[in-house]
A and B are shown apart, each in its own frame.
Chain A
Amino acid sequence: MIQLFLRDVGLSVRSGGGFGLALIFFLIVVTLIPLALGPDQTALAVVAPGVLWLGALLACLLSLDRIFGLDFEDGTLDLLVTSPLPPEAVYIAKAAAHWLTTGLPLALAAPVLGVLLNLDFETGKILCLSLLLGTPALSLIGAFGASLTLGVKRGGLLLSLLVLPLYVPSLIFGAQAVRLAGQGLTYDEALVLLSAISLGAAAILPFASGAALRINLR
C-alpha cells in the first residue's frame, strides 16, 4: 500500500504526471476573479475566503479522473485488484497520493494567492489551516466518485456532477471558518466540523469505494 502510494506520488511528479496543473488552474481562477468583479479592494476582501475555497475545490476536481483512469486504461488496476492488496487499500493509497500532490500544494498556495485578493495574513493562516483540514475530504470523496465512474467513457462531466453535491458540506464549513475568522469571530466550531467530515469520509468511503472498484472490474 505504501509502495502504491509512493508510486502514485512519483508518477504525478514526473513528466506528464499532471502535478502542478491544479496549482496553475488555481492561480488562473484567482487572477480572473478581480477581472470579473472589478478591482475594488474592500469588495475583493469580502469575497476572498469563498473564492479561494471554491478555486481550490475546482482545481481539486480537475485531476480526479486521473486517480483511477490511467491505471484502468493500461490494465494496472486489474492487476492491482488481483494482487494481495485489497481494493480498499488501493483506494486509500490513491486518495492519499492525490491529496499529497493536489490538496496539500493548494492549501499551501492559498494564503499566497490570498494576497492578490486583499486577504490579510491572519485570515490567510486560517484559510491555509481550513484547507489542510478540508482537502483530505475532497480527495477522498473525489476518489470515491472516480471509482464509481471508472467504466464510463469520457465520464469527466458525470464525475463532476456526482462529486460536487458531495462537496457541499466541506465547502460550507471550510469557507465559513475563513469568513468568520475574517470578521474576527470564533471559527473553532466550523473547523472541528470540517475535520469531522474528513475523518468520517476516511472511515466510510474506503468500503464504498472498494465495493465500487470490485463491481467495475467484474
Chain B
Amino acid sequence: MGWSGRALPWVAAAAGLSLCSGLIWGYFFTPDDIRQGSTVKIIYLHVPAALMAINGYLLMFVGALVWLIRRQHVSVLAAKAAAPVGMVMTLIALATGAIWGQPMWGTYWVWDPRLTSFLILFLFYLGYIALWAAIENEDTAADLTSVLALVGAVFAMLSRYAVLFWNQGLHQGTTVTMADGAQQDNISNVFFQPLLLSMAGFGLLFLTLLLIGTRTEVRSRRLKVLQARERME
C-alpha cells in the first residue's frame, strides 16, 4: 500500500503525458494513408486498446494464479480491479473497430475472426465480473473467480483458434510486430513512432487505473474489517 500510493501520481502523470503526446502526434502530425485516408488515424486508439484488452485478461490470469498458489490477497484484488478496466478496453477496441470498419468495409460490424474473438473476450470479462458480484463471502468469491479465470483463459485461447477456423476474415493482418525489435516494413516509421507512444500511454493508463482500483479494493476490505470490529465492541 505504501509504495503504490507514492508511485501513483508519477504513473498517472506519465500516462497523461504519453497519451496526450502520442495521440496529438498521431492525429495532427502524421500524413494520411494513401489507401485509407485519414481514417487510418483511429489506430492510435484502436490498437493500444486492443492490446490492453488482451493484457488485462493476462493480468487477471496471473493474479488468479498467484492467489490460488500463494494466497496473496493483493494479487486477487488486482485481478478483480483489472477486470472492469480490461472490459472497457475491449469495448473501446470494438467501438473504434466498428467506426473504422464503416468507411473501410462499408459496414459497422462483420463477423470477422478478430472482431468475434473480442466480442467473446468481452463476454468472458462479463462472466468474471458477474461471478464476483454474485458471491457474498469474499474469500469464496476470490477462489471461485480465480478458478473461472484459469479455465476461462484456456477456453478463450481455444475460442480464438476456433473462430479462425470458422471464418478466415476481412481484418488486416497484424501490422505491428515487435518480435525482434526491428519493426517490419508493413508499417512505416512515421506512423509507428506515435503509435508506440500511445501504446505506452495506454499501458500506463491501464496501470494507473489498476493501482487506483486495487487500492480501493484493499481499502474497502480494511473498512469491512474495521466495521466488523466496531460491531463487536
A and B touch in the complex (CB under 8 A): yes
Chain A interface residues (CB < 8 Å from chain B): 141, 144, 148-149, 151-152, 155, 158, 161-162, 164-166, 168-169, 172-173, 176, 190, 193, 197, 204-205, 208, 211-212, 215-216, 218
- Cα separation A158 to B158 with both chains bound (whole Å): 22
- Is B159 close to A, CB under 8 A? yes
Q: Which of B130, B143, B163 contacts A161 (CB 8 A)?
A: B130
Contacts A158-B131, A169-B159 given; does A216 touch B151 at CB 8 Å: no
10 A-B pairs with least C-beta separation: A169-B162, A172-B162, A165-B123, A169-B158, A215-B143, A168-B159, A162-B127, A152-B134, A166-B155, A172-B166
Q: What would be 5 A-B contacts, judged by CB atoms less than 8 Å apart?
A: A165-B127, A165-B155, A172-B163, A172-B165, A215-B144
Q: How far is the CB of A59 from chain B (nearest CB, A)?
A: 20
Chain B residues whose CB sits within 8 angstroms of the CB of A151 once the complex forms: 135, 140
Q: Which of A190, A193, A208 contacts B150 (CB 8 A)?
A: A208
Chain A residues whose CB sits within 8 angstroms of the CB of B154 once the complex forms: 204
| B124 in contact with A165 (CB, 8 Å) | yes
Per-residue interface assignment for chain B, residues 25 to 44, with 1 indicating a CB less than 8 Å from any chain A CB and 0 otherwise: 00000000000000000000
Contacts A193-B162, A216-B140 known; 11 new A-B pairs at CB < 8 A: A148-B131, A149-B134, A152-B135, A162-B127, A165-B124, A165-B155, A168-B155, A168-B159, A172-B163, A176-B166, A211-B147
Q: How large is the interface on B (under 10, 10 to 19, 20 to 34, 35 or more residues)?
A: 20 to 34
| B151 in contact with A144 (CB, 8 Å) | yes
- Is B196 close to A, CB under 8 A? no
| A208 in contact with B123 (CB, 8 Å) | no
- Is B66 close to A, CB under 8 A? no
| B158 in contact with A197 (CB, 8 Å) | yes
Chain B residues whose CB sits within 8 angstroms of the CB of A212 once the complex forms: 144, 147
| B144 in contact with A161 (CB, 8 Å) | no
Chain B residues whose CB sits within 8 angstroms of the CB of A193 once the complex forms: 162, 165
Chain B interface SS verdict (over half) = helix
Q: In the complex, which residue of chain B has the Cβ closest to the Cβ of A168?
A: B159
Q: Which of A144, A162, A197 contacts B131 (CB 8 A)?
A: A162
| B162 in contact with A162 (CB, 8 Å) | no
- Is B120 close to A, CB under 8 A? yes
Q: Which of A155, A168, A190, A204 contacts B151 (CB 8 A)?
A: A204
- Cα separation A125 to B129 with both chains bound (whole Å): 40
Within 8 A of A (CB), among B110-150: 120, 123-124, 126-127, 130-131, 134-135, 140, 143-144, 147-148, 150
- Cα separation A12 to B134 with both chains bound (whole Å): 28
| A216 in contact with B134 (CB, 8 Å) | no
| B130 in contact with A162 (CB, 8 Å) | yes
Chain A interface SS verdict (over half) = helix
- Cα separation A155 to B131 with both chains bound (whole Å): 10
Q: How far is the CB of B61 from chain A (nearest CB, A)?
A: 14
- Cα separation A155 to B144 with both chains bound (whole Å): 14
Q: In the complex, which residue of chain B has the Cβ closest to the Cβ of A212?
A: B147
Chain B residues whose CB sits within 8 angstroms of the CB of A190 once the complex forms: 165
Chain B residues whose CB sits within 8 angstroms of the CB of A215 once the complex forms: 140, 143-144, 147
| B134 in contact with A166 (CB, 8 Å) | no
- Cα separation A168 to B152 with both chains bound (whole Å): 11
Task: Give the residue among A152, A215, A216 with the most B Cβ atoms within 10 A.
Answer: A215
- Cα separation A179 to B123 with both chains bound (whole Å): 25
Q: How far is the CB of B118 from chain A (nearest CB, A)?
A: 12
- Cα separation A182 to B147 with both chains bound (whole Å): 39
- Cα separation A211 to B65 with both chains bound (whole Å): 14
Chain B residues whose CB sits within 8 angstroms of the CB of A165 once the complex forms: 120, 123-124, 127, 152, 155-156, 159
Chain B residues whose CB sits within 8 angstroms of the CB of A172 once the complex forms: 159, 162-163, 165-166
| B151 in contact with A205 (CB, 8 Å) | yes
Chain B residues whose CB sits within 8 angstroms of the CB of A155 once the complex forms: 134
Chain A residues whose CB sits within 8 angstroms of the CB of B126 once the complex forms: 161
Q: In the complex, which residue of chain B has the Cβ closest to the Cβ of A167?
A: B155
Chain A residues whose CB sits within 8 angstroms of the CB of B148 once the complex forms: 148, 162
Q: How far is the CB of A81 from chain B (nearest CB, A)?
A: 15
Chain B residues whose CB sits within 8 angstroms of the CB of A216 once the complex forms: 140, 144
Chain B residues whose CB sits within 8 angstroms of the CB of A204 once the complex forms: 151, 154
